[in-house]
Amino acid sequence: MIPKRCSTAALLFGALAALACTAGPLGAQASKPRVNNEQPTNLGGQTKRIHPRALKLILQGEKDEAIAFLEAAAEAAEVNPEHSQLLLDIARGAPGAWTFDAETWPWERTLPDTSLKSDAPAGRFTIAFGGGAGYVVANERMWDTIGAVDPRAVLLLGDNVYIDDPETPEMQRFHYYRRQSQPEWAKLAESVPIYAIWDDHDFTTNDGWGGPAIDEPKWKREVWEIFKENWDNPYYGGGDANPGCWFDFQIGEVHFILIDGRYYRESPRGDDPSMLGPVQMEWLEEALKRPAKFKVLCSNVPFAPEVKPGSKDTWDGYRGERQRIYEFVARERVPGLVLLSADRHRSDAYKIDTGIEGMYPLYEFSSSRLTNEHVHKIMDSSLFGYNAKQSFGRVDFDLEADDPTVTYTIINIDGEAMHSLEVKLSELGFE
């Protein structure tokens, strides 16, 4: 089943066009998953991958190797010993071992609840956002740091748990469940609404794309179903007819629009590829037209150019579609738009010139090193950036000011404010 752009072509041009749309050499195909938990893990490096590596060995029937690996990891890296024991029990066939489902998971899970704080004031409020949250025991205190600013909501914009294995449901559930059982996470999730979209490491594998077909590859829909089991968004894309994780919601006069940049993404090597697909693009245009003082468009990858030099994984690989979004905003005279994004393992801010006459500059606030160990360098094109420690983005809205403001502040894992930028609503309008 293909979204409407492809099926329309089939109606117009007949069976030949339909074949091209479903089996074209580039845009019509998903990328092949490059599962990296099957490779040997450096025990002194990415600790978020140690337990997934062991679980993968178990699932492949290499139980003795998994046991040896877990015993070596216990000596070499700071990992959760209870999770190690869970995996050892599976490998050794212990009675009552986890059977890869929610019912037999041995610890309490705390799932997000977006009904929290529904009656909180909306004239002045704070939200927190970020991505890059692989499970690292030493850095799970980040959830306490975020909770300390008492946000009205938390937006997780991708790479939220780092699965990297779209064809293995057991791996997906393990990644969600171990985070949900972390006490710092539980404390935050019990008190603050948490919304989420995915990026490559949660949906497929590094820099991967799903292609335009709804049910091809076959793993796409099941990954989506498991995602829905573990998040509490207002809705999920276009439902069963058009799966995805895009959605929107409003806090007072601030409209949050979160997009899905993976499910229908075409190869960036194609001719004018799409990241969103036609159904989602139509939805986005309608969402952008709804009235609000501020509109916050949230993307899994940055809009600003050259934030990942040489790569087409960001919106740089989808320049035509990016420009069409900008042109829609200008044509419809949509005021008050700011951008939030994730993906790069740092926090930074950008001021984007869209090149459209009369269009106000777009400010992008980006943050994606919530708990990750791995770090990316600061870009010269940013207004400012920070990568010395894990960090998140704090965004404060003051709708009660004579000239309402949105203020972005980078907060590191120790609760220290590193950089800040205030943007007035009057800067985000048309003459």
Side chain identity at residue 296, one-letter code: V
| 307: its two tokens | 């934030």
> What pLDDT is stored for residue 13 in this prediction?
29
| 102: its two tokens | 């929610």
Q: For residue 142, what is the DSSP state?
A: H
SS3 label, residue 427: helix
What is the four-CA torsion angle of 148, 292, 275, 409, rounded to 10 degrees?
Answer: -30
| 271: its two tokens | 């001719």
Helix axes 278-289, 4-13, angle to 10 degrees: 120
Which candidate, 96, 92, 117, 179, places its Cα nearest to that of 143? 179
> What pLDDT is stored for residue 40 in this prediction?
66
| Cα angle 250, 162, 265; round to 5 | 65
Helix axes 319-331, 278-289, angle to 10 degrees: 30
Q: What whole-number distance in Å separates Cα of residue 228 and Cα of residue 239?
A: 11
The DSSP code sequence of 163-195 is ---TT-HHHHHHHHHHHHT-HHHHHHHTTS-EE
**Residue 146, phi then psi, degrees to nearest 5:** -65, -45
The residues of the chain scoring below 70 in pLDDT are 1-26, 40-45
Question: Beta strand pairing status for 362-367 and 337-341?
Answer: parallel
Which candidate, 383, 197, 407, 195, places its Cα nearest to that of 294? 407
CATH H-level, domain 124-427: superfamily: Alkaline phosphatase D (PhoD) (3.60.21.70)
> What pLDDT is stored for residue 6 in this prediction?
39
Which candidate, 168, 176, 161, places its Cα nearest to that of 33? 168
3-class secondary structure per residue, 225-268 = HHHHHHCCCCCCCEHHHECCCCEEEEECCEEEEECCCCCCCCCC
> What pLDDT is stored for residue 41 in this prediction?
64
